[in-house]
Amino acid sequence: MSPASDPAQIEAVRLRMVELGFHVDLARSGDRPILCGSGIDELQSYDHLRQLRGWSSVDDVVFSQPSTKFLGKSPQTIDLGGGVVVGGSAIVIFAGPCTVESETQLFETAEAVSRSGASVLRGGAYKPSTSPYSFRGMGLPGLELLAQAGKRFGLKVITEVMDPRKVDLVAKYADILQIGARNMQNYDLLHEVGKISKPVLLKRGLSARYEEWLMAAEHIALAGNERIILCERGVRSFETGTRNMLDLAAVPVMKALAQLPVIVDPSQGTGKRELVTPMSLAAIAAGADGLIVEVHANPDQAVKDGAQSLSPDQFESLVPQVQAVARAVGRSVLVPTKV
Amino acid sequence: MSPASDPAQIEAVRLRMVELGFHVDLARSGDRPILCGSGIDELQSYDHLRQLRGWSSVDDVVFSQPSTKFLGKSPQTIDLGGGVVVGGSAIVIFAGPCTVESETQLFETAEAVSRSGASVLRGGAYKPSTSPYSFRGMGLPGLELLAQAGKRFGLKVITEVMDPRKVDLVAKYADILQIGARNMQNYDLLHEVGKISKPVLLKRGLSARYEEWLMAAEHIALAGNERIILCERGVRSFETGTRNMLDLAAVPVMKALAQLPVIVDPSQGTGKRELVTPMSLAAIAAGADGLIVEVHANPDQAVKDGAQSLSPDQFESLVPQVQAVARAVGRSVLVPTKV
Amino acid sequence: MSPASDPAQIEAVRLRMVELGFHVDLARSGDRPILCGSGIDELQSYDHLRQLRGWSSVDDVVFSQPSTKFLGKSPQTIDLGGGVVVGGSAIVIFAGPCTVESETQLFETAEAVSRSGASVLRGGAYKPSTSPYSFRGMGLPGLELLAQAGKRFGLKVITEVMDPRKVDLVAKYADILQIGARNMQNYDLLHEVGKISKPVLLKRGLSARYEEWLMAAEHIALAGNERIILCERGVRSFETGTRNMLDLAAVPVMKALAQLPVIVDPSQGTGKRELVTPMSLAAIAAGADGLIVEVHANPDQAVKDGAQSLSPDQFESLVPQVQAVARAVGRSVLVPTKV
Amino acid sequence: MSPASDPAQIEAVRLRMVELGFHVDLARSGDRPILCGSGIDELQSYDHLRQLRGWSSVDDVVFSQPSTKFLGKSPQTIDLGGGVVVGGSAIVIFAGPCTVESETQLFETAEAVSRSGASVLRGGAYKPSTSPYSFRGMGLPGLELLAQAGKRFGLKVITEVMDPRKVDLVAKYADILQIGARNMQNYDLLHEVGKISKPVLLKRGLSARYEEWLMAAEHIALAGNERIILCERGVRSFETGTRNMLDLAAVPVMKALAQLPVIVDPSQGTGKRELVTPMSLAAIAAGADGLIVEVHANPDQAVKDGAQSLSPDQFESLVPQVQAVARAVGRSVLVPTKV
C-alpha cells in the first residue's frame, strides 16, 4: 500500500481480501504497509485482486503463485508418431518453403529437405501478409499438396492456421498446427486449437513478453490441448539491420517456465539467408529442441521471403553443422526413419 | 544492386523487370548500379518485385508508389448518423467502462458520460485477456445491454469483435465495430469486418509501424469497407513506468498517410488514471479527431482496468478542459443532441 | 523469498538484514515468505540490499523508499535572471539552430526567434555526431558567437557540453548547460556540471526509463547543483516513420517524480519539420514548461538537421498557436522583456 | 525526389550536387525522379548531402558507399602479447568480478579464473552506477590491484574507463581499455582512447543500431587507434524477464561489417546467473571470438551484480562446455601459457 495510507484505508483493503477468502497478514517495509494474503488459490480471485490496483491507497498487487494451472509443472515432450518426438534428447528439424506455390516447388523442396535430415515439412497454405496486394496462399489445394508431399517423403507436416473456422480443416491435413506471431493473442483461435487432438506450434508474438507467451499457451491448455511446442522467431526492436531480433535467451527461460519444447526460427528471426546458419547453431547451443528453417528449391524464384530462404544445397550443408553442435551439448539430430 | 555486380547480373535483373512489364532505366550512384522501373502499377507486381530482394546481386528493392489503392487519396469523415460525425471539425468523445459487467454498472456509467458530453458509449462484451483466468466478458447479454444503454441515453455504441464468426452478431448491436490492438493483423477478422456496412475502429497493434497499420486498414478497405477510424492506443516500449507508450506523433502522421479520422485512447495508452487528463488534452492539441476514455461508475469496483478508469466526476471535469484545448486549435467538442 | 526457501535460508536473510541495521518482520503471501525491513534509511544500504538479489533463496528485493534524497521533495523553478523563469506559470520557448555555423547564420536566426517570442537561444558549438565525417561544431568561436548573439538580442543562451574538461569553459559563455541524450549516463560529466552554479538541462537518454532519468538528475543534485531542467526529446523505438518516439506522458510523470521543470524538444523528438507544430502544441497541453525548437534562418542550407528545422516564418506562426494552447490550460507564454 | 517535383526543383538539386563535385545521372523509378551522383568520395560531402534531406522536394538521400574509411576493409586480429590473440581461431575468455572490492576478493577470483582457463582478467575500478548512492569503484587502488593480480596469475587485464581525463592513467595499468555501453557515443572519450596504443573494447550502446556501433568504432579508428574489439552485451527491450536482450545476430553481422573481433557478455546480457552458460555456448556457436563473464569468489557477497555472477565452480564447469562447442564450430579455446 502507499506509505501515506491511513488505518481506515488499510482496514478497507484488508476486509476486501478477507471477503475474497484470504488469510491476511499485515507487515511493514520501511514506512510502507504490506498486506499478505494466503490460504486460497489466487487464480480464483485473479480479477478481484487486480482490481485492488485501482484503489488509490494501493500501490501494487503482486501475485506469489505461478500464473498457470496446466503448464510449467513437469517437462513435456510432443510425440508426433513415427518416431518423431519434439523435446526429447534429439533435435528435430522442420524445413520447407515459406509458402506452398506449386506441386513442383513443394515436392522438389520436400524431397531435398527430407534427404538432408528434416523430419517435418513446413509450408504456408494460408499466409498472413502485411500488404493486401501480396499473395495470401493457395488455401485448400496447398493443404492437399502438403499432405501428399509429407506422405511421399516420410515427413510430418506443419502449416499455419489463422482463422478459427478453418481449424478442423487444417487439422485434417497437418500433423502440427502453427499459430503465427501475429495471432499469438488471438484468443478465439487459441481456444479453437485447444479443442483438437493435434499438437500446436505457438510462435511468440512480435512484442510478447515471456509471461504473456506462457499465458497464451495456457489458454490453449485450459481449452483442452497441452501438446504445445513453443517457437522463438525474433521480436520487434529498434534495430533495422535485421528483420527481427532473435532472442535466444527465450529458449532456456521458456523451457524452465513452461516446461514445453522450444524450437527456433532462424529464417524469420533474422530475415537474412547468411545469418540462418550461425543463428541455427546458436539456437542449438542455447538448448533449443529444434529448428524451423525456410528452404526453397529455388530461392531466387520464391514468391515470399526468398531473401531468408536457404537453397537445398545450403540446407544440406547446415545439417551436419547442427549435428556437430548438438553433439557438443550432449544431444543429437533426429534421423528420420523413412518408410 | 550491389556495387560488386557484374554486367551479367545487372542484365539478369533488368530482364526480369522487363518481363514484369516495366520500362527500365539504368543509373549509377557512386559505384552502385540502380535499375529504375516505370510504366506499370507496382502493386500488380508486388510479390515479384520483393522477390528480387532474395537475389544475391540485389541489395534492396524500393517501391516508389504509395502502397495503397483505396486509402490516403482524399480525407474521409465517418458519419454515424444522428449528427455524430468523426473526422469533421468537432471532436467526438467515446467513453464508458472497459467491460460490461451488469445492467446497473453500464447504465449508471452511460448516463453519466452522456450527461457530461460523450457521444459514443464504449464497453467490452467480448474481452481479450492475457490470462485465461481473467473475465472474458458477458458476451451476447453484454451486447444487448450496450444497445439498450445506447438507445436509452442517446449514445452511439462501440464494442470489440475478436472472432470472425461473431462479426455479424456484433454488427447487429453496435454502431462501430472495434478491432483491438492484438488483432490488428488478424487478417481473416479484417476481411470479415470489411464486408459489413458498419464503420470499423482499427486500433494500432502493440508494435505496429505506421505503414503496417495503414496496410491493415487497406485490408479492410479492399474487402469493401472504407469507413474506418484509426485509434492510437500506445505501443509497447522499454519503459515500465507506464503501461504503454502513447505515440501522439501517430496522429498527424496517420491523418496525412491514410486520410482517415484518428482518435486516441489515453486510458489504455498510459494505464494510469492520473495521466488520462494530460494525455487527452495533448491528443487534441496534436490534432486527434476524438478520444476514447475508460469511465466506470465505480472504478474501485471495476472488474478490469480500474486503475486507468476515470470516475464520472473525473470525466465530467475532463470534458470542459478538452473543449478549451479544442477551441485553442480551432475546433470544438461535439455536443450530442439527445432526443 | 522463493516459496521453496527452508527455515535456515529465511533465517540467513533475516540475520543479514538485522546486521545492516533493519528491524525485520516476517510475513507470508501465498506460500511465499516475505521479509520486511524498516527503521533505517534504505539508501545507506543500497548496494548491500541489492546484493541479496544474488542469493539463491531470494526472488526479489523491493525498495519502498524513494530513490532520491534531493529531488522530488518540492517543486522547483529555475530562475535564469532577467525575468526568465522556467517551471513557473509561463511557458518558456528555447529556439535556434541545431549548430552554430557562422555569425550571419546565428545572428539572423537569433534576431528572428527573439522577435517572434523565444526567450532562450539554442545552438551547438560542440556537436555529437554519429559519423566522424560529420561536422563537429565550431567549438570556442561558436561559444563566443552564442554569447554575443544572446547579448545582442536579449536572449539567454543554452548550449551542449560533452566533455567534462570543457564544463568551466562552456559555463563562461552559456546561461544553461545542456547534457545531451547520448551523455545522460556519462556520470563524470554529470558530476562536473553538478559543481557549477549555472542551471543544467538534462535531456532524456535514448532509451532511458523514467527512474534512470531521475537518478541521472540526482547524480547532478548530489554533486551540488539542484538547478536542473529536464527535457523529453523522444526515445528510440521500432517505429521507422519518425526519428524518435516523443513520449509526452513523460511530462506529467517526471514533473511528479522529480518536481523539476520539464520541457520538450519536438524537433529532435520527431525529426520532421511538419510534425514540430502539432507536437509543440501537444507538449504544452500535456503540461510542459517549455519548448526547445530548432529554427534556422535558411533550413535548406542547414549543415545539420535541416529536415527538422523550422524557418523563421514557420516559427513565427508557431508561437501564437502555442499561446492559444497555453491559455487553454491556464498558462501563458513568457514574453521576453528586451532591453 | 518527391514524385510531385517540378523540373525547376529537380534542376536545383542537380546543380547543388554538381557544385559538390558529383557527376549526376537522372533516372525515373515509377513517377519518381532519382538523381544519382558518382565520381567523388561521398564522405567528403557527408553533411552537404544529408542537408538535401531538408529540401522540400527531396524525399531521401541514400549513400551508396560504405560509411567508413578505416574499418570493414580487412579482418583484424588484436594481439595482446604473450600469445593472447583476439579474433584468431582460438576463443579468448575474459573473466573476473563486476567490481574490484578488495585484494582478497580480486586475487581469489583471479586465481580461480586463471586456473580454469581465462586469459584476461576483468574488474571495474571506476563503475558507472544508475544510482548515485551505489558504489562507484575503488579507483586508483583498484587499478593497482588489477595490475598486480594480472601479473601474479598470468592474465591480461581489462577495465573500464569513463572519463577522458583518466584515459592515460587507466592505460598505464590495463592491457585493454573498456568503453561501457553508456559511453558508446561519448565522443570525447572515444577520441581520447583513439590516441593511445592499447587496444579498446567497445561495448554496444543500450539501444545502438549496428551502423551506429560501427561508426563509434570508426571515431576511435579515425583518432588513430584501429585495435578495437567489439562486445555485444545485450540491448534494451520491452522484455522484463531478462535484464537486457542479448542480440547474438550482432556477432556475424558486426564481424562482416567492421571486420573486427566480436566478443559477447552473457552476464550483463541476461542479468541472470542461470542463463550465463546457455548464452555463452550460443555466443560461441554464433561465431563469437570470446566471452567476458562475471565471476566472483563469493557471488552472494558481491557488492554489485551478484545475481549475474558465476561462482568459481560454476565458471570451472562452463569452460569445458565452451571448448566442446568451440570444437564443434572448428575453433578452440585459448589455453593461456602461464609463466
Interface touch C304/D135, C-beta < 8 Å: no
Tally the residues of chain C.
Answer: 339
Contact by Cβ (8 Å): B270, C249: yes
CA distance B281 to C285: 5
State the average pLDDT for chain C. Answer: 93
Q: B169 — contact with chain A (CB < 8 Å)? A: no
Tell whether the model's pLDDT for residue C336 goes beyond 80: no
pLDDT at A338: 59
pLDDT at B107: 98
* Best residue in D130, D183, D190, D296 for a mutation probing chain C (most C CBs within 10 Å): D130
Q: How far is CA B116 from the centre of its chain?
A: 25
pLDDT single digits (tens) B200-248: 999 999 999 999 999 999 999 999 999 999 999 999 999 999 999 999 9
Kindly list the partner chains of chain B, i.e. chains with 3 or more CB atom pairs below 8 Å. Answer: A, C, D
Please tell me which residue, B172 or A23, carries the higher pLDDT value: B172
Give me the residue from B189, B207, B216 closest to A236, CB to CB.
B207
pLDDT at B338: 58
Q: Which of residues 295-334 of B touch C (CB under 8 A)?
A: 321, 324-325, 327-329
Give me the residue from C3, C25, C207 closest to A28, CB to CB.
C25
CA distance A282 to A286: 6
Q: C132 — contact with chain D (CB < 8 Å)? A: yes
Give me the residue from B245, B249, B284 closest to C285, CB to CB.
B284
Q: C42 — contact with chain A (CB < 8 Å)? A: yes
Return the closest-CA partner of residue D265 out of D79, D98, D135, D131: D98
pLDDT at B306: 78
CA distance D332 to D315: 17
Please tell me which residue, A144 or C47, carries the higher pLDDT value: A144
For residue A27, give how far its alpha carbon lies from the nearest alpha carbon of chain C (Å): 6
Domains in chain C (CATH in brackets) are: 7-54 (no CATH), 78-333 (3.20.20.70)
Nearest CA in chain A to D324: A328
Tell whether the model's pLDDT for residue C339 goes beyond 50: no
Give me the residue from D235, D241, D279 closest to A286, CB to CB.
D279
Please give the ipTM for the structure prediction: 0.94
- The set of cell numbers assigned to A269 is 528471426
pLDDT at C144: 98
CA distance D149 to D106: 7
Interface touch A186/B187, C-beta < 8 Å: no
Return the closest-CA partner of residue D73 out of D289, D262, D257: D257
Q: How far is CA D118 from CA A79, C298, D122, D294, in A?
A: 42, 58, 10, 11
Q: What average pLDDT values come out for chain A (339 residues) when binned by 10 residues?
A: 88 88 84 84 81 83 82 95 96 97 97 97 95 93 98 97 98 98 97 98 98 97 97 97 97 97 98 96 98 93 83 97 98 81
CA distance C205 to A123: 43
pLDDT single digits (tens) C110-139: 999 999 999 999 999 999 999 999 999 999
Q: Which residues in chain D have their CB less than 8 angstroms from residue A329's CB? A: 281, 321, 324-325
Q: Which residues in chain D show pLDDT less than 70?
A: 338-339
pLDDT at C338: 58
Q: A29 — contact with chain C (CB < 8 Å)? A: yes
Interface touch A162/B299, C-beta < 8 Å: no
Give the Cβ contact number of residue D213 at 10 Å. 25
Interface touch D34/B26, C-beta < 8 Å: no
Kindly list the partner chains of chain A, i.e. chains with 3 or more CB atom pairs below 8 Å. Answer: B, C, D
Residues with Cβ < 8 Å from A126, sequence gap 6 or more?
A136, A137, A139, A142, A159, A160, A161, A162, A163, A166, A170
Give me the residue from B222, B302, B305 closest to A132, CB to CB.
B222
Nearest CA in chain A to B41: A133
pLDDT single digits (tens) C190-242: 999 999 999 999 999 999 999 999 999 999 999 999 999 999 999 999 999 99
Nearest CA in chain A to B309: A54
Interface touch D249/A270, C-beta < 8 Å: yes
CA distance C118 to C110: 9
Q: B40 — contact with chain C (CB < 8 Å)? A: no
Give me the residue from B163, B186, B219 closest to A132, CB to CB.
B219
Burial classification of residue C43, based on how many CB atoms lie within 10 Å of its CB (0-12 exposed, 13-18 middle, 19 or more buried): middle
Give me the residue from B26, B29, B62 closest to D38, CB to CB.
B29
pLDDT at B339: 47
For residue A271, give how far its alpha carbon lies from the nearest alpha carbon of chain B (Å): 10
Q: Which residues in chain A have their CB less than 8 angstroms from residue B135's CB? A: 47
Q: Which of residues 70-109 of B touch A (CB under 8 A)?
A: none
Q: D130 — contact with chain B (CB < 8 Å)? A: no
Phi and psi dihedrals of A276, rounded to 5? -65, -45
The amino acid sitting at B197 is S
Interface touch C300/D133, C-beta < 8 Å: no
Please tell me which residue, D290 or C20, carries the higher pLDDT value: D290
- The set of cell numbers assigned to A111 is 524431397
Contact by Cβ (8 Å): C292, C318: no
Q: Give me the residues paired with residue B178 across strands.
A: B160, B201
CA distance D269 to D248: 10
Q: C25 — contact with chain A (CB < 8 Å)? A: yes
Interface touch D38/B26, C-beta < 8 Å: no
Question: For A152-156, C270-274, C299-303, which range has the lowest pLDDT when averaged over its residues?
Answer: C299-303
Residues with Cβ < 8 Å from A270, sequence gap 6 or more?
A234, A242, A243, A244, A246, A276, A279, A308, D249
Q: Which residues in chain C have their CB less than 8 angstroms from residue D307's CB? A: 53-54
For residue B138, give how far its alpha carbon lies from the nearest alpha carbon of chain A (Å): 14
Tell whether the model's pLDDT for residue B53 goes beyond 50: yes
Q: Which residues in chain A have their CB less than 8 angstroms from residue C27's CB? A: 25-27, 34, 36
Residues with Cβ < 8 Å from D140, sequence gap 6 or more?
D125, D169
CA distance B37 to B314: 57
CA distance A230 to A214: 9
Q: Which residues in chain D have their CB less than 8 angstroms from residue A251's CB? A: 278
Residue with cell 482517415: B260
Interface touch D165/C162, C-beta < 8 Å: no
Q: How far is CA C310 from the centre of its chain?
A: 22
Q: Which residues in chain D have their CB less than 8 angstroms from residue C219's CB? A: 132
Phi and psi dihedrals of D160, rounded to 5? -85, 140
Q: How far is CA D328 from CA A321, A326, B142, D282, D284, in A?
A: 8, 9, 60, 12, 10
CA distance A252 to A283: 10
Q: A47 — contact with chain B (CB < 8 Å)? A: yes
Give me the residue from A249, A274, A325 closest to D325, CB to CB.
A325
pLDDT at D339: 47
- Region for residue D127 given its phi and psi (left: phi exceeds 0; alpha: psi -120 to 50; beta: otherwise): beta
